[in-house]
Amino acid sequence: MSLPLVEPDLALLREGRVLIDVRAPVEFAQGALPGAVNLPLMDDEERHLVGITYKAHGQDAAIALGERLVSGGLKAARIAAWQRLLAAHPDAILYCFRGGLRSQLAQQWLADAGIRRPRIRGGWKAMRQALCARIDAAAEQPLLVVGGLTGCAKTPLILALDNGLDLEGCARHKGSAFGRHPLPAPSQINFEHAMGRRLLDLPGPLVLEDESRRIGAANIPLRFWEAMVPAPRIRIEMPLDWRLAQIRKDYIDDLWEIHRRQFGDWLGWALMRKQLSSALGRLRKRLGSERLARLQRLQALAFREHERGNRQAHEAWLAPLLTEYYDPLYRHQLEKHPERHFLHVGDWESCLRVAREWSAEAASKDGRPQSQSA
């Protein structure tokens, strides 16, 4: 009985199809396809033993060992896990690394249990190649880069556009020493897959934030980064008080809500304090010992006030952090690239309007449809 195959079509991701990844957990952690659930045929140790046997004695011996390791109640439990997911998502599709032995064996076991589901031809590798090709193709699309001092709400502007590409969201990092997310950062592969997945919905002009190539633990793929460097730019300029309120929301209020949801009040508070104090400590080299000590004292006082309900107290250390560190750093970057031309420099609302106008004009020139949010 032949087992059904589907082609490695990115439409599977665009449609939001649930994918059953039968690779080992260690492989899944290194990088998975968007929408995938890890229900492995073999665990990490079983895979390791089978791999050793494959290298020493060949494929047949490896298959025989795998069948001995995953048999009886263990085999039944893994089939049952696939069946439970398929009961909730009957159109789910299987894949392994190359769409070969492991996903084929999972198919066969399911078929023996009366369930026929396809596997992806070429597996994870073929789908990853297609996602990376989508990122490379996006480098040829019109790009508009949004710059501005820290706290100018560049990410909210990106998110307000239908054609905004939030690279920091893909990296799960806000792109600064204080930008770490409480949850683990994605692997480089998962960052690229998140980026590629978002680009499936963005065929026309793209608007994105001005970034260094590295965002947290992730690197923007080189070809796309090279396209960002000469792209036209706009720059948001907002007063310090406005920026401070935005920074407090990003670095304090939103961060606290994430910690509280994930870890509860007591542990969440302790972990948030540790994250923010560690982030400040990492700037020792740039700030100098004296200035760092002053900011650390102000931060400690702000935490005590925060516990009494005064979140605004954080502005006492956030304001000098902006004016003495982040603002000079950004202006230095501008001076390093004096040849860069800004299409527009203005407040947040005017930059949003210009980004929409640029998007509509670029879409008409590009000949591809581009919807814009109102």
Residues in the chain: 374
Q: Contact at 8 Å (CB) between 171 and 217?
A: yes
Catalytic residue at 132?
A: no
Return d(Cα 279, Cα 277) in angstroms, integer.
Answer: 5
Specify the 3-state DSSP secondary structure of 140.
Answer: coil
Distances (CA, A) of 327 to 298, 330, 351: 19, 5, 19
CB atoms within 10 A of CB 287: 20
Q: Which residues pair with 215 in a beta bridge?
A: 218
Closest by CA position to 283, among listed 369, 179, 199: 179
Burial of residue 365 (number of CB atoms within 10 Å: 0-12, 13-18, 19+): exposed
**Of 96, 152, 170, 351, which residue is the catalytic one?**
96
The token duo for 132 is 């990376």
Please identify every residue annotated as catalytic: 96
